[in-house]
Structure 1
């Protein structure tokens, strides 16, 4: 009879060890296994005495400073089984666990190692949410998972498994070589699995086996320089990009998927497990990772655009773009070429690192410009422009927040005065997942219009608004249904989403189609009033035919507001003149800033007064913008500086203030553009230009 050697590393947590061994004895077939317990030489007398009393356990010892892989390598030498199962002593096994693991191990000759599901470990796919509070409940849950595994598929192939519990064929282990005891404790298992794959073996999860693991959830976030030195890539590149995969909409059995920057193939393997009939392809820049991934699917190595040429154009239903793609020069230009390989109804799913995150800000304060750390990552605004230019619409964008550690919270608390509101909001957002689709024929969208009026639902309305506004308006131009009510409905929902510019586009089109429609005129008046243009709002409301009493009251109220506003403008003009001529300047700046902050006064109002009544425009705009920035009122400050630059592009204070504001907002490229555009390069401008340029040149 074949035997399995269970190698159990035991530390001083004796209660866990006893529970583990008792569960092995209870739920494993007698005569099919041996237990080799490796006991630390510094263990307590209680632990040592307990093991001495156990007649069915082979005891081995290890030094205090021995790492786990060295401990296991030593125990392998005394093992007699045809299979070896490595386990931490803070686990509890369940009924038929060993039988089912071994069945999975021998499903195929090519499978060399298998692992179970559990509650705590380092492998994403092995973790299974569970709610039990006793051994009886654990056993019930394990039985349920066994049935689920049998129905959905016992074996799930993968790249790596966790070291807390796994079984390996001894022949494969000896052929592959022992565990590398020179590596870090968080990387040796990944190394072992990758070497098995390189030898031609496969690794799998047994989804019908569930084992409890005491402890805390751990991740492999810590750096592993020795692993990197050996493999030329880090542990993070092996992480399953589940966020990208989960955003695939309407997956089909025989779909064609391309992953740009597929790494070692973790995501390719997951896609094939989920969609075994799909055609999965990948492109990877790193030859070592590409070779590993090629065992799983159709993977080529080399520059993305060069490797794309081997595929037919318009051939992929889904193209997944990992963050590694954006490490290339001019990624948006490259992305435009990628679109040629997307089918007419295909979707593009992007993983976009956030340059305003903690990692980006930390890099800036460690004498590295953020552009150096994040390469050529485009902003969300740049991507939106790219999508519209290339006839794509952004159907979904999901920010991924991370829990800040103590170092991150300290950095945030001590530097937030330098951050714009946008940087503060995005500080804990590590990345965005963005889904974009090719814009379909207008007839497809018009069918959704009809469906909305047949039976209204919020989901249908949201589906329409996922398209960009220009495409919606194009479809509305030739729509034969109730176009004006449709445009008003879209405008109202856009206001709810605070997309006022889109709301005005829809309402202006509705006005163009029917200039006396009361709903359109009322909504135009409402939106312009919300945007602070009382005079324009009044113009729209006056045009409404057959006004009711409420609208007439609104008109009277707005007329009064306009009268009062003209008086407010006179006060603002006086305050700005005081700033210009240094008359109670500090008090004047404080009053103006308060009006801006409370949104009583708009930036447009300030700029109108400066244009019409201020002589030294650049001085007033710079003085006021610097004051606003010191008070943490960032966006108006930038707008004032940009206007000052229009008045005098060579005025050094404006150039420097605007560049500094972009740097503190995390936009190094824009800071470089401002400095480079200045024709009069003063020593200070040149100094900052070189600082930013040095950062750009390190990309």
Structure 2
């Protein structure tokens, strides 16, 4: 018996909740009757104490099973009442503000039962794809041409939205009913999606099935109530799961869009730092099935979900990581750098895992956004869940400071793209006045909520980055070996080296002296004096440079010259006094 015949033997239970809005319910039911094969479904409606004639209309419908509640029990409990009324067949949770279309249920069922690993599926809708219809007839025509038996349009997802969610019967039996702590509604569908994944099943978004969703009919007239309820339920979700229902499960399509044009079957490697539950990694898997995907996430609960998708490590990116050097083609940093204690050191460390000509793809919030400036001028610095003043942010960046951060990490090839929002009308004149009043602020920078960065690990600047790492005390021996090898192979000469250090924003004199001592130990004697001279050109009283000049001259027997440099030191420590004694001893012997 085929899988299709197996699931056609039992009817799909379509569970719809109603609370007033009779006209939406009627058109929804009409579309189901019109575009769903008779005998393949059973409509179950749970009415949450409607007062607009909905109950009377439902009572007259002979093909609908109805539960009439005497109070509004909310979405999760109402759905559970409908599920408990069933004993066989899959469960389809459907909002009453939906219009279904031709072949919708058959196509969803085709996907759901295409593999035993699939636990739930959902269709696309007018909020996901661009549509061009204005009337019901145009909608039906659009859907007729859109809906297709095309499995290449199936995508794995982390979660589905409960407005249209088809769930296998055995999954419901395994994981239970919707969690009623989220009543009257919001986050229960995300919670159920993660429970399905925890049960070892996949969630599929069917981009080959289109339905129309009006959206938020139940809460549409109570926007303030909806906002408060959403925040309350997100807190409940965090209490249950340990991570945020939206922020940790959002797909960063903006970062993915900055990947170079690549063939669908091409192999390349990506590290997503702060990957959350792995939504971005999952979308990368959909687009590039052969890609090698890795993630780092410090929240263990979120990392456990992401580990079902890719090779994910539970770790703090600012601490030790264990990856092969020059391994990744891309490293994603989606709103991560702002949350770090030391973003500069982390970038320098991450760079060694990046292939030559690999890319950092990042987003960084813009603290120069006009909302922040306006609030600051009013004496406020109020934190929020997202944006430049996120509760999680430890560092704050403007465009200029972001570019400096990448430059200081040794990156030179930097592209950036502002992400802006339209100024609200009452603020537009204020923004224009501020932009005119100062030469520092540019209006575009005031409109950008954040910037996307595409930063290339160009081989042209590799040795400069090694010098920066030495200056920052990172992997000194490894980086020194690279510099020494370049000098010995004539890939780097002393003129290039001195020029490069002179143009860097590092402790130039400290770096000149470190290299001078290292060159002495490795026998590169001809290159030592130019380094020390370059240091004295910056400051001819620099104590370490004077000492090193004296020390090296003493080692080659030039004690009189060594004494000259030593006498130029304003203060002598114990090491300098010992050197002075040794020089004077040699000079006294030579006079005798």
- TM-score, normalised on structure 1? 0.57
Structure 1 counterpart of 2:403: 384
> Structure 1 residue 197: deviation in Å?
1.2
The structure richer in helix per residue is 1
Name the residue aligned to 1:163. 162
Preserved contact between residue 48 and residue 73 of structure 2 (Cα < 8 Å): no
**Which residue in 2 is equivalent to 1:254?**
267
Compared with structure 1, are the counterparts of its residues 346 and 74 closer, same or farther at alpha carbon in structure 2 (3 Å cutoff)?
A: same
2:27 alignment partner, SS class: helix
Report matched runs for 1:121-136 at 5 Å: 127-136=128-137
Instruction: Find out whether 1:229 has 2:239 as its counterpart.
Output: yes
Equivalent position to 1:336, from 311, 328, 348: 348
RMSD: 3.2
What is the rounded CA distance, in whole Å, between the counterparts of 2:186 and 2:423 in structure 1? 22
Deviation of 1:95 (Å):
1.0
Cα distance, 1:75 vs structure 2: 1.2
Q: Equivalent residue for 1:506?
A: none
Structure 2 Cα separation of the partners of residues 29 and 42 of structure 1: 29
Q: Residue deviations 1:651-689, cap 9 Å, x none?
A: xxxxxxxxxxxxxxxxxxxxxxxxxxxxxxxxxxxxxxx
SS at 1:194's partner residue? helix
Please say if residues 297 and 303 of structure 2, whose CA atoms lie closer than 8 Å, have aligned partners that are also in contact: yes
Q: CA deviation at 1:427?
A: 4.4
Does the CA-based 8 Å contact 1:257-1:278 persist in structure 2? yes
**Equivalence map 1:482-521=2 (5 Å):** none
Task: Report how far residue 29 of structure 1 moved.
Answer: 1.5
The one of 331, 334, 346 aligned to 2:358: 346
Q: CA deviation at 1:360?
A: 4.3
Does the CA-based 8 Å contact 1:3-1:82 persist in structure 2? yes
CA-CA distance at 1:428 after TM superposition: 4.2
User: Would the alpha carbon gap of residues 179 and 411 (structure 1) be closer, same or farther in structure 2, given more than 3 Å must change?
Assistant: farther
Aligned-partner Cα distance in 2 for 1:399–1:56? 55
CA gap of 1:245–1:205, structure 2 versus 1, over 3 A, is same
**Residue 80 of structure 2 aligns with which residue?**
73
1:79 Cα shift?
2.0
Contact 2:248 2:276 in 1 (8 A): yes
Q: Provide the C-alpha distance between the structure 1 equivalents of 2:343 and 2:446, rounded to a whole number of angstroms.
A: 24
User: For the residues of structure 1 that align with 2:72 and 2:34, how far apart are their CA atoms?
Assistant: 33
**1:21 matched to 2:29:** yes
Q: Deviations over 1:298-351 (max 9, x none)?
A: 000111144532x11101111111113431211111101111111112111111
CA contact (8 A) 1:4 1:83 kept: yes
Partner SS state of residue 41, structure 1: coil
Q: Which residue of 2 aligns with 1:95?
A: 102
2:311 counterpart of 1:292? no
Structure 2 CA distance for aligned equivalents of residues 394 and 287 of structure 1: 35
Tell me the distance in 1 between the aligned counterparts of 2:90 and 2:67: 18
Identify if the C-alpha distance between structure 1 residues 418 and 136 changes in structure 2 by more than 3 Å, giving closer, same or farther.
Answer: closer
Contact map agreement 2:366 2:397 (CA 8 A) in 1: no
Q: Deviations over 1:565-617 (max 9, x none)?
A: xxxxxxxxxxxxxxxxxxxxxxxxxxxxxxxxxxxxxxxxxxxxxxxxxxxxx
Helix, strand or coil for the counterpart of 2:359? strand
Separation in 1, partners of 2:131, 2:45:
29
Q: In 2, Cα distance between the equivalents of 1:203 and 1:54?
A: 33
Contact 2:162 2:189 in 1 (8 A): yes
Aligned residue in 2 for 1:193: 193
- d(CA) in 2 for partners of 1:296, 1:229: 24
Deviation at 1:181, TM superposition (A): 1.8
Structure 1 position 431 matched with structure 2 position 447: no
Match of 1:240 among 251, 255, 263: 251
Q: 1:177-220, CA deviations, whole angstroms, 9 ceiling, x for partnerless residues?
A: 21122126221211111111112121111121100112369999
CA offset digits 1:52-95 (Å, max 9, x no partner): 22110001123444221111111111124420101111111111
1:44 match: 52
- The whole-number CA distance in structure 1 between the counterparts of 2:73 and 2:67 is 13
Distance 1:73 1:52 in 2: 21
The residue aligned with 2:152 is: 153
Give the whole-Å Cα distance in 1 for the aligned partners of 2:389 and 2:61.
61
CA contact (8 A) 1:283 1:307 kept: no
Q: In terms of mean alpha carbon deviation, does 11-20 or 238-247 score higher?
A: 11-20
1-side partners of 2:250 and 2:375: how far apart?
23
Kept in 2: contact 1:33–1:81 (CA 8 A): no
Distance 1:429 1:419, change over 3 A: farther
Q: 1:232 to 1:130 in 2, by over 3 A?
A: same
Q: TM-score, normalised by structure 2?
A: 0.67
